Amino acid sequence: MEQYKFSSEHNKMIVEAIVEGYHDYIEHRKDRKAKMKISSAFAWTKGNFIESKVADECVDYGFKYRKSKAGLTWDYLQFIHGECKILFLIKNAAYFNEKCFSQSKLPANTGSKGFHRTYLHELSKINKDVVFSEFRQVTDGEIFESYEQLSFFVSENQVKEELENFQSSFTEFHILTYTLDEAYQISEVKHYLPNPSDNVAYLVEDMSDFIHGAELTDEDREVIAPEMGEEIMDPAAYDIGILDEEQQIE
């Protein structure tokens, strides 16, 4: 497991950038709320601010980044860890299902399943040669559900070709997640390595000790407190466009 961890210096840079990007997002929400008659759609831009801040900071550490498309409509950033041929993404833990990472979860409905994120499973095939036997997922006795093959409904000419190229260009694919607590503050950042064989994302490291300056004011919390159902409708959370063919028809 140790060989899959990032250095402490890189962990610190990434976590601090996630926290700073989230604060940038809050300041933007406050500004838009003050200047616009309606600004609720800006609730959907949190991931953009976080990824942009990580991109700003990571280049000084030898990292690279590139914009990619998660299917038909959602753009996101992919990060390349220096010369190590490691690709990683940053996801909101509220919608990340480590027990079945290619399928999002609905945080407000325990047990409910969200949209299939086929591109995550395709990217995870980069890890086809990783030996996962040394990983032990803490499950509190719960058995992970087995992976079922997903129908592939994406922009095949663009995305599928890109994913196939990645599978040969990189040696590892990682996912970092951030968690917001009940006070809407970033409370956890975790590092996972997804296994394409069982669709489980195995914990590499809890990076939360590097979180500093995450505290919010009452004014901050007031502007970002979600309305009823607002978070569930967030298109960034479900990478809208990554749908089963049956779901698309409906």
- The predicted-structure confidence for 112-157, as pLDDT tens digits, reads as follows 555 566 788 889 999 999 988 877 654 443 434 433 333 334 444 5
Averaged pLDDT, 81-106? 87
pLDDT category of residue 71 using cuts at 50, 70 and 90: low
Report which of residues 158 and 149 the model is more confident about: 158
- pLDDT for 159 equals 54
- pLDDT for 144 equals 42
- pLDDT for 169 equals 83
pLDDT category of residue 250 using cuts at 50, 70 and 90: very low
Q: What share of the chain has pLDDT > 70, as a percent?
A: 70
Report which of residues 84 and 173 the model is more confident about: 173
pLDDT of residue 69 exceeding 60: yes
Beta carbons of 19 and 213 less than 8 angstroms apart: yes
pLDDT category of residue 228 using cuts at 50, 70 and 90: very low
pLDDT of residue 186 exceeding 50: yes
pTM above 0.75, yes or no: yes
